[in-house]
Amino acid sequence: MLVEPKLLVTTLGLPDGTTVDDEPLGGTAAAPERVRLRPPGGSERIVLLRASFDAGEAMNHLAVMESLTNRGFEHAPKLLAVIDEVAVEEWIDASNALAIVPPPGAIELGVRALAALHGLALREGLDWEKDRGDLFPEDEVPLHRLGFAAEERETARAALAEAREVLLASPFGFAHNNATAAHLLFSKDRAVIINFEQSGFGAQLLDVAAFLLTSGVEAAGRRVLASQYAAVRGMDVDATADLVDLVGILWGIEELLKLPRRQIQSMGDDGAMEALLTMAARIDRGLKAAAGGHPLAARIRTALWPS
């Protein structure tokens, strides 16, 4: 287990004699664990233990979770305790859009959960001391690593640079910064956001783009959902939908560039590897299908994925 069973029982205020059964939810040493606690003569209780290989990411997750719990934020699990940098969280009996086909209305609930998260006046997590440009340096995008030819890369270069400037002018604030479909759970009438290791100051529309691209939603549906997000936030509906589509190209290219490293990190965990490949296939398909009308997005798609 990620924590010593007796210490977990004591920390949660359960009586001696409580039985502890743990179930790893992945194939790595730091995979989350579902733990069933059965006190003598009492009702079963289920909690989630979450750790990280990276101490900094673990502490960031704990700090954000504590803030969200203290605020009573309904779209995140409650933080019940912290034991040796391991989060003891409320167990959410739910699935994500990578594991199942979401029931009708589930993706809409996820979009509303992200809008609620972005609407918090929360200054917690990473990178609040940085400028926007520090988060997205003006570096050459190594498109050659994704197999694009020199002519395609050169044609897309100026449009990608302009798209970065558009991203820097988009809404910034508290963001999840890794809001893929794997990190939003759906229960019957609730969407819950999990895993805040990378959360902090960031470009909020990237969260929306990441969620929609990895949820397997077709282009027309992505536009409708981005418009719903904009309406909840009180933003211009059409302009925001176009921006989500545009910045999604930047996010998706960056994610595909990171894929080989993440595959190496996931070796030995068949479930994590399958999720990575599913997300990569969805991102690749989504990048090629326009879900907005921004002229920069059209220029990039024409350069990189000509019909």
> How confident is residue 125, by pLDDT bands cut at 50, 70 and 90?
very high
Pair (208, 273) in one structural domain: yes
Residue 16, sorted as left (phi over 0), alpha (psi -120 to 50) or beta, turns out to be beta
Question: Is residue 122 located within the same domain as residue 81?
Answer: no
* 147 shares its domain with 211: yes
Mean pLDDT of all residues in 195-220:
97
CB 297 within 8 A of CB 205: no
The pLDDT of residue 171: 98
Same domain, 75 and 188: no
Tell me, yes or no, whether 96 lies in a domain.
no
Q: Is the pLDDT of residue 118 over 90?
A: yes
Residues 98-117 pLDDT 10s: 988 888 899 999 999 999 99
Tens of pLDDT, residue by residue over 48-96, are: 999 998 999 999 999 999 999 999 999 999 999 999 999 999 999 999 9
Q: Please give the pLDDT value at position 189.
A: 84
State percent of the chain over pLDDT 90. 89
What is the pLDDT at residue 183? 97
Q: Are residues 36 and 164 in the same domain?
A: no
Does 131 share its domain with 197? yes
17 in the same domain as 126: no
For residues 208-216, average pLDDT: 97
Give me the domain span that covers residue 183: 106-304
Note whether 115 and 232 are same-domain residues: yes
Same-domain status, 67 and 113:
no
Residues forming a β-bridge with 78: none
What average pLDDT does the segment 163-179 reach? 98
Q: Are residues 73 and 214 in the same domain?
A: no
183 and 143 share one domain:
yes
Confidence of residue 173 (pLDDT cuts 50, 70, 90): very high
pLDDT at residue 264, rounded to an integer: 83
Domain CATH code at residue 255: 3.90.1200.10
Residue 266 has pLDDT above 90, yes or no: no
Same domain, 164 and 260: yes
How many domains is the chain built from? 2
**Residue 65 maps to which CATH number?**
3.30.200
What integer is the mean pLDDT of 2-22? 97
pTM, two decimal places = 0.96
In a domain, 274, yes or no: yes
